[in-house]
């Protein structure tokens, strides 16, 4: 199955790297440089997945995640971070992210997306499996 995927990260190099990693899973890949832009893309395109950096400016990933959960509950969000902090991980998962992946483990993204149930299918024990960093 292929998906429409939005990559939201303020670093263009990271967006290019993620694009290469997920290319085989995506029918369309959108990009955003911050949380506000990601929300605009979600409103216009309604992607299946958002792969979003935690720390961006002016709108960070956690604020964008909260807005996405309220406005677009069908979109599955994976938070990306270079910070291996339990409090950030817990907050992201509490706000509705289905995984929290350290940027050093971006290769885990394909497995997380592939293992998730298709929209409309019964959920597995969790909507998305946790990355090895959780």
Predicted local confidence at residue 119, as pLDDT: 60
pLDDT at 52 over 60: yes
**Residue 130 near residue 101, CB atoms below 8 Å:** no
**Residue 18 near residue 9, CB atoms below 8 Å:** yes
Q: How far apart are the C-alpha atoms of 85 and 61, rounded to whole Å? A: 15
What CATH number corresponds to the domain at position 21? 3.40.50.2300
Answer whether residue 124 is part of any domain.
Answer: no
**For the chain, what percent of residues have pLDDT higher than 90?**
81
Joined tokens for residue 98:
């289905």
Predicted local confidence at residue 120, as pLDDT: 56
Joined tokens for residue 131:
């990355």
Q: Which of 40, 77, 90, 79 has the alpha carbon at shortest distance from 56?
A: 79
What's the average model confidence in pLDDT over 58-84? 94
Predicted local confidence at residue 1, as pLDDT: 80
Name the one residue in this structure whose structure tokens are 């969000």. 77
Predicted local confidence at residue 118, as pLDDT: 63
Mean pLDDT across the chain: 88
Q: Which of 13, 54, 53, 46 has the alpha carbon at shortest distance from 27?
A: 46
Joined tokens for residue 79:
């938070």
Residue 7 main-chain phi, psi, to 5 deg = -105, 120
Answer whether residue 46 is part of any domain.
Answer: yes
Answer whether residue 75 is part of any domain.
Answer: yes
What's the average model confidence in pLDDT over 57-84? 94
How many separate domains does the chain show?
Answer: 1
Which residue range forms the structural domain that includes residue 72?
A: 3-115
Q: What is the pLDDT of residues 85-129, one digit of tens each?
A: 999 999 999 999 999 999 999 999 999 999 876 665 544 434 444
The model carries a pTM of 0.88
């Amino acid at each position: 199955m292929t998906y429409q995927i939005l990559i939201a990260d303020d670093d263009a190099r990271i967006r290019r790297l993620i694009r290469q990693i997920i290319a085989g899973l995506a029918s369309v890949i959108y990009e955003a440089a911050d949380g506000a832009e990601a929300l605009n893309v979600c409103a216009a395109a309604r992607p299946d997945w958002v792969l979003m950096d935690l720390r961006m400016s002016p709108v960070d990933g956690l604020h964008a995640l909260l807005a996405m959960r309220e406005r677009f509950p069908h979109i599955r969000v994976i938070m990306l971070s270079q910070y291996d902090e339990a409090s950030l991980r817990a907050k992201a998962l509490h706000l509705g992210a289905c995984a929290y992946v350290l940027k050093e483990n971006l290769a885990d993204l394909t497995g997380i997306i592939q293992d998730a149930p298709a929209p409309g299918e019964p959920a597995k024990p969790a909507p998305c499996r946790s990355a090895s960093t959780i």
